[in-house]
Structure 1
């Protein structure tokens, strides 16, 4: 049956007041690994009461003290790496080595960055902008933050949420995805051993619980990473509250014929299938100069066919399963409903002989810009290929979707690379690489990909408010 999970409120685990529960299913085996509550109004009220009470004192803690707390949490994450990896693997099926490197180690590093950023808030210099008066800017914490995280990188997304919020002096009520709650609960327990009670609170539940968070009058800001549909719901529920929305992507890679096509194809497939393509920045659309289209496709097929998934020994896998049965069915249906002009040149099926939600690395050619597979987020290990004959056409194809989170250009022409970093309409542009992130640089998109920045000092600023103070100097 698996463990019955509890909420983490006011520094301790407590059973949910609501009677509803849902099964947490391993995407590797399809079997239940835990039972989690569907938190209701009473649970959410208790969490916000704890966060509101803690904010009264946490907001006054000095930046150096907030830094010490975050550094201690980073150390705790590293010290409990094995526990965090196992908790997340139960829920996601990701290869353990990938969780350890990409979420635990990277998460500890990001917490250490936010610890430093707590002491580096910026504002205009105090000066006499009006004769006889001195003005300056105060950056203050916003208050109690409602946060909702997705299932694709549960631990990392929780760190991206709580790190900058706590660094700025806020308190949080966070709801993880109903399919992947366990690593977040471990993180909450570790935080509860370091931070004052009520600073970090986690409530479990589904979309109905998320709506209670977004609508709660004590929440002065709502931060969500999720789908466009989820973002639209949160924006409606939040009303006049501040929102921070990271809502997915449909990232293009613009490939010119002057690159090493074999090496480039291997990289494109790696960046398109990492985490089974369940990444908002995943490389999903290859746009290639028409003169080398066929050659690049041959290399893409070879690279995809060399990519391993679905093995019983998860250490052999380059990526794990899709997260849940509903999403598995969605990816499968999207690939099976391609228009007649599209051609699957490799993949396109569930991995045979596996009990879990594994899907083959898939390359699709012959697509048109208006096709759903080009325009809509698939969130699986699926890459489409289109050709172009000019830089202008390449930009039109790349920018011709509603999403604007991430993109890349592959060329040895430095001037061309600079032009594309200027003209690609995405929040992040990589040149001759893709998907890589560092704590010091911002992550976030435009258009339907939402607004607001994760990572970097900009993320900490997202969780602050700006107050102008003016003093009359007197006679």
Structure 2
């Protein structure tokens, strides 16, 4: 049984209470490690370490921060196999796909923010008042508290850590209680290149996260998680007037017009819907299709589902692995079980049988047609490998249905009509709009949502700016 520990002040330490939580491999349903069940004393210790480290780290030059991030990126790339194995043991993800699709972007994001650290911009200094010169300082915020989810533990940790470090902040990060392994490993690796206390990781459950947010030290709280979690974080942080950065749930509309290439669209949608078992807030799982293409797209999606495989991490032919935990499996199954009578399960619909994974949390690739706008599964994030399909009559109805949810994170439009694509991209109320594709990300472009999907941006220079504060300095220059 592996023992994971907190990483505080440059050292691996147990929780003060000695209490632990089991860490389960979702592909088997068996515990393979323990992690600390941290309490307020552990959070306070981490905050003290981060505050002390900020006294020097906050004054480092952009060049020094860049060099540290570049070294972390190189070390991560050099130890890719070790990190992929840790991630897959903890999440049940396919090993090959994780190595190809998750590790390289994570390395790239570290390198992007290493460069971005040296190109922060501000307004031009100048004399905006006679005999006075003004300029802008963009400064680190100080200590930031971060909470990351279980769907992409390593990648989401890097999305949070890289811009915060690049801006000169110090960090106390809490990973999900079900997936702490790769985040702890990242902190241990980063400690080879960062001063003690700059990056601290405290493991634990919701109570640990609450203690993190309630602590008086951090001036910014950043979380990727559910709408429920984001609402709680925002409410708790408000008591201390802390800034909040929220990347929350999604219900991405995939709007397919009848002039789209149906076969290509179905293949791309299935990949973007089932990747990571649909456990992605941008997953292509809510398909809206024009009347004229409806039957063809439903048939094509059903065929894609039947040819998509789920299975164990070491199986090279699977697209996705297990759901993260038994509660998530029950949630996904429950939403399918509660489908209305007018819905039709075209493929899948139940728990998947996987050789070697009899205790794992696997669910079949599923397609459900005949959905209506007010159905539970049309309005609520499933976070599982379930693609739903509903029809629309015209562009106006497509927009009403697409925007008619509480979420506003991501969306896509599938059409060969360029003018229509631009009209839709203008009117879709989502932070990301893809045209004839769905789910690619690049480090240079921002990711973040509207409405209940939160506020603040990950990735890009906008993400870096979120971890800074603006100071106006004015000097009297008269005689």
* Alignment TM-score, normalising by the size of structure 1: 0.98
Alignment of 1:191-206 (within 5 A): 191-206=190-205
* Structure 2 counterpart of 1:364, from 358, 362, 368: 368
Asked whether the equivalents of residues 27 and 312 of structure 2 are also in contact (C-alpha less than 8 Å), the reply is no
* SS of 2:443 mapped into structure 1: coil
Q: Deviations over 1:255-295 (max 9, x none)?
A: 01112111111111111101000001101211111011011
Partner of 1:97, secondary structure, is helix
Partner residue, 1:125: 124
Indicate whether 1:17 and 2:16 are aligned: yes
Question: Once the 2 structures are TM-superposed, how far is the Cα of residue 131 of structure 1 from its aligned partner?
Answer: 1.8
The 5 Å alignment of 1:319-468 reads 319-353=320-354, 354-355=357-358, 356-468=360-472
8 Å Cα contact 2:246-2:454 kept in structure 1: yes
Question: Does the CA contact (< 8 Å) of 2:145 and 2:171 recur in 1?
Answer: yes
444-453 or 236-245, which deviates more? 236-245
Q: Deviations over 1:325-374 (max 9, x none)?
A: 11111111111111111111111111025421111111111111111101
**What CA distance in whole angstroms lies between the structure 2 residues aligned with 1:296 and 1:41?**
52
In the TM superposition, residue 313 of structure 1 has moved relative to its aligned partner by: 4.6
- Aligned equivalents of 2:40, 2:267: Cα separation in 1: 49
Deviation larger for 102-111 or 147-156? 102-111
Q: CA deviation at 1:102?
A: 2.5
Check the 8 A contact 1:168/1:464 in 2, yes or no. Answer: yes
Per the alignment, residue 218 of structure 1 pairs with 217
Give the alignment's Cα RMSD to 1 decimal. Answer: 1.0
SS at 2:372's partner residue? coil
Q: Give secondary structure in 2 for the equivalent of 1:407.
A: strand
Residue 291 (structure 2) pairs with residue 290 (structure 1)? yes
1:93 aligns with 2:101: no
Distance 2:216 2:300 in 1: 54
Give the CA deviation at 1:15. Answer: 1.2
Matched, 1:160 2:164: no
Matched with 2:143 is 144
1:45 alignment partner in structure 2: 44
1:23-74: CA deviation from partner (whole Å, max 9, x where unpaired): 1111111111101121011111110010000000001000011000000000
Q: Judging changes above 3 Å, is the alpha-carbon distance between structure 1 residues 393 and 199 closer, same or farther for their aligned structure 2 residues? A: same
Instruction: Tell me if structure 2 keeps the 8 A contact 1:257–1:411.
Output: yes
Partner residue, 2:281:
280
**Can you list the C-alpha shifts for 1:83-116, whole angstroms capped at 9, x where unaligned?**
1011111110101122212222111110000000
C-alpha distance in structure 2 between counterparts of 1:147 and 1:99, whole Å: 23
Kindly report which structure 2 residues correspond to 1:26-65, keeping only aligned pairs within 5 A, or say none: 26-65=25-64
Alignment partners' CA distance in 2, 1:186 and 1:118: 24
In the alignment, the residues of structure 1 paired with residue 92 and residue 154 of structure 2 have an alpha-carbon distance, to the nearest angstrom, of 14
User: How far apart, CA to CA, are the structure 2 residues paired with 1:434 and 1:122?
Assistant: 31
In structure 1, distance between residues paired with 2:456 and 2:96:
30
List runs of 5+ in structure 1 lacking aligned partners: none
Distance, in Å, in 2 between the alignment partners of 1:97 and 1:40 is 36
Shift of 1:156: 0.3
What count of residue pairs does the alignment treat as equivalent? 474
Describe the SS at the equivalent of 1:315.
Answer: coil
CA contact (8 A) 2:92 2:313 kept: no
- C-alpha separation in 2, matches of 1:343 and 1:448: 29
Matches within 5 A, 1:244-283: 244-283=245-284
Q: Does 1:66 align with 2:70?
A: no
Cα distance, 1:72–1:276 mapped onto 2, change above 3 Å: same
Query: Is 1:227–2:226 an aligned residue pair?
Result: yes
Q: TM-score, normalised by structure 2?
A: 0.98
- Asked if the contact 2:284/2:438 (under 8 Å) is kept, the reply is yes
Higher mean Cα deviation, 13-22 or 368-377? Answer: 13-22
Alignment partners' CA distance in 2, 1:422 and 1:409: 11
CA contact under 8 A between 1:28 and 1:321: conserved in structure 2? yes
State the SS of the aligned residue for 2:308. coil
CA contact (8 A) 1:314 1:320 kept: no
- Partner SS for 1:283: coil
The equivalent residue for 1:173 is 172
Q: Distance in 1 between matches of 2:204 and 2:451?
A: 29
| Aligned-partner SS, 1:196 | coil
Shift of 1:312: 7.6
